[in-house]
Amino acid sequence: MNLIFLGPPGAGKGTIAAELKKKLPLDHLSTGDMLRSEMKEGTELGKMAKGYIDEGKLVPDQVIIDMVEKRLAASSGNVLFDGFPRTVEQAKALDKIAKIDAVINLAVDADVVVARICSRRICRDCGAVYNTNWHSGETCDACGGALYIRDDDNESTARKRFDVYMEQTAPLIEYYDKQGIVHTYDVSESTSYVAEEVAAMLESGK
């Protein structure tokens, strides 16, 4: 079973994916996490990716596709794609190496996305994600690590990334809708219900 999460930065893809993994045997393949790992290690790929991400742009297709194919080879065969594909060309490339069973489309508007991103905090040690709306501390509840703000978690970059998503990634909804595998959920108010509904949908086979 292979799933794709679609939605702009800040839609809650990572949070929902973490909850869904508790219910279903899925490998969470987050291209964002992979790229951040490369940047943290200071690799050539990481340095190149950082330049694009800091400007709110997408990393070139071939770099992402090669990285995803490598991770797929090491996966269990049940993958939840988060942050990939981001363009129709990437989707066509993915079709050649994996069968997609369902696409989860998280619908949310720009103002909600900006508010969430600007309130986001990340644990330096384990990568857990927090939001100042419900977590006022400066350390991670899970491991005690210090929380920090990503360089690109600001209003200007957040709005630019939303615009890039709408221009380059939103067309994927139409691409996959033609295959009859898109399931849309409104996450403007809350994301807490989505994992339950997605799990029920997948288990029912609909």
10 is in an annotated binding site: yes
Which tokens in the block code for residue 65?
């596709």
User: Which residue in the list 50, 116, 121, 161 is annotated as catalytic?
Assistant: 161
* Residue 189 in marked binding region: yes
Strand partners, 186: 107
To the query of whether residue 92 is one of the catalytic residues in this protein, the response is no
12 is in an annotated binding site: yes
Q: 73 among the known binding-site residues? A: no
Residue for token pair 């393949």:
29
Is 106 a known ligand-binding residue? no
Catalytic residue among 40, 70, 92, 150: 150
Stretch (H or E) spanning 109: none
160 is in an annotated binding site: no
**29 within 8 A of 84, measured Cβ to Cβ:** yes
Q: Is residue 121 annotated as part of the catalytic site, yes or no?
A: no
Is residue 59 marked as binding? Answer: yes
Residues 6 or more apart in contact with residue 73 via CB below 8 angstroms: none
**Catalytic residue check, 124:** no
Catalytic option among 13, 50, 116, 121? 13
Please answer whether residues 106 and 11 qualify as being in contact, where contact means their C-beta atoms are separated by less than 8 angstroms: yes
150 is catalytic: yes
Three-class DSSP category at 147: strand
Q: Confirm whether residue 161 is marked as ligand binding.
A: yes
Active site residue 159: no
Dihedral in degrees, nearest 10, Cα atoms 183, 189, 192, 195: 10
Instruction: Tell me if 118 is assigned to a ligand binding site.
Output: no
> Is 58 labelled a binding residue?
yes
| Contact (Cβ atoms closer than 8 angstroms) between residue 7 and residue 108 | yes
For 93, the token pair is 């490339």
Catalytic residue among 50, 116, 120, 121: 120
- 120 carries a ligand binding annotation: yes
Candidate list 50, 86, 116, 121, residue with the active-site label: 86
* Residues annotated in a binding site for Zn(2+): 123, 126, 140, 143
* Residues annotated in a binding site for ATP: 10-15, 120, 129-130, 189
Catalytic residues: 13, 86, 120, 150, 161
* Residues annotated in a binding site: 10-15, 31, 36, 57-59, 83-86, 90, 120, 123, 126, 129-130, 140, 143, 150, 161, 189
